[in-house]
Chain A
Amino acid sequence: DTAVSQTPKYLVTQMGNDKSIKCEQNLGHDTMYWYKQDSKKFLKIMFSYNNKELIINETVPNRFSPKSPDKAHLNLHINSLELGDSAVYFCASSPTRGTYGYTFGSGTRLTVV
Chain B
Amino acid sequence: TQLLEQSPQFLSIQEGENLTVYCNSSSVFSSLQWYRQEPGEGPVLLVTVVTGGEVKKLKRLTFQFGDARKDSSLHITAAQPGDTGLYLCAGRRDPSKLTFGTGTRLQVTL
Contacts and interface: CB of A to CB of B under 8 A. Distances in A.
B96 A48 contact: yes
A50 B104 CA distance: 30
Interface in A59-113: 90, 92, 97-107
Interface in A24-54: 31, 35, 40-45, 48, 50
A45 to B, nearest CB: 6
B95 A104 contact: no
B97 A99 contact: no
B40 A106 contact: yes
A12 interface: no
A102 to B, nearest CB: 6
B30 to A, nearest CB: 7
Given A43-B43, A105-B42, A56 B102 contact: no
B100 interface: yes
Contacts of A43: 43, 88, 100, 103
Contacts of B2: 42
A97 B96 contact: yes
Contact of A97 (B35, B44, B50, B95): B95
